[in-house]
A = this chain, B = another copy of it.
């Protein structure tokens, strides 16, 4: 399948298509037209057709999309057809929240280790895995196949750990720490900067109020 030169905007929308198709499957919907799908998703049918055409299109004139087929194909494009072993660094509330997302595992994101710096947490089980100390991380990485590391550590610790991850061959970091990681080009980083998201909300609220002064 030709997947080159697809715009970032389209990629950003794929998980949303995947989510809606998953919901349709739960509702036992077998096929859907781009029109119907566009109404559900509050977008246009032409955008849906254009987006999906990037991947060779999956629809048939007069039939619409086969929901299960489209769901499976988008899943493959998103890399959800293989298992991604992952570890969590930082076993605080956020780390534990992420460890307990059942949906992740359903999609192939399999938690294989959880680490923290706090000795009080050592050995406590989270989703069946005992929390290990961060000092054991390099050894763990050499002995186990890990693909994705989730960073929920404080800023300074995150920086230090990112270097250890990279040295030990980790190629994907999901970063919740409030800093921009400096990593080589072959390491994929996806940031979730929660305070920046909250500030965007605050900005939009202020702006709305300025524009709608009573």
A residues adjacent to B (C-beta < 8 A): 3, 11-12, 14-16, 18-19, 41-42, 77-80, 84, 92-94, 96-98, 100-101, 103-104, 107, 109, 147-148, 171-172, 174, 178, 180, 186, 188, 190, 192-208, 210, 212
Task: Determine if B195 and A15 form an interchain contact, defined as CB atoms under 8 angstroms apart.
Answer: yes
Task: Determine if A203 and B93 form an interchain contact, defined as CB atoms under 8 angstroms apart.
Answer: no
A192 to B199, CA, bound (A): 13
Task: Determine if B101 and A203 form an interchain contact, defined as CB atoms under 8 angstroms apart.
Answer: no
Task: Determine if B78 and A206 form an interchain contact, defined as CB atoms under 8 angstroms apart.
Answer: yes
A205 to B149, CA, bound (A): 13
Residues of B within 8 A of A3 (CB): 207, 210
In the A-B complex, list the 7 residue pairs whose CB atoms are closest, starting with the nearest. A79-B206, A93-B97, A15-B196, A190-B201, A94-B97, A79-B202, A15-B199
Task: Determine if B93 and A202 form an interchain contact, defined as CB atoms under 8 angstroms apart.
Answer: no
Residues of B within 8 A of A16 (CB): 193, 196
Q: Which of B42, B78, B97, B197 contacts A180 (CB 8 A)?
A: B42
Given A93-B96, A210-B3, A203:B104 Cβ within 8 A: no
> Contacts A79-B202, A188-B208, A190-B200 given; 8 further ones with Cβ under 8 A?
A14-B203, A41-B180, A80-B202, A84-B202, A93-B100, A188-B204, A190-B204, A192-B197
Give A53 Cβ to nearest chain B Cβ, in Å.
18
Task: Determine if B78 and A202 form an interchain contact, defined as CB atoms under 8 angstroms apart.
Answer: yes
Q: Which of B14, B103, B148, B193 contacts A195 (CB 8 A)?
A: B103
Q: Which of B96, B101, B205 contacts A188 (CB 8 A)?
A: B205
Task: Determine if B172 and A201 form an interchain contact, defined as CB atoms under 8 angstroms apart.
Answer: yes
A104 to B199, CA, bound (A): 9
Task: Determine if A97 and B107 form an interchain contact, defined as CB atoms under 8 angstroms apart.
Answer: no
Residues of B within 8 A of A202 (CB): 78-80, 84, 109, 148, 172
Residues of B within 8 A of A18 (CB): 199
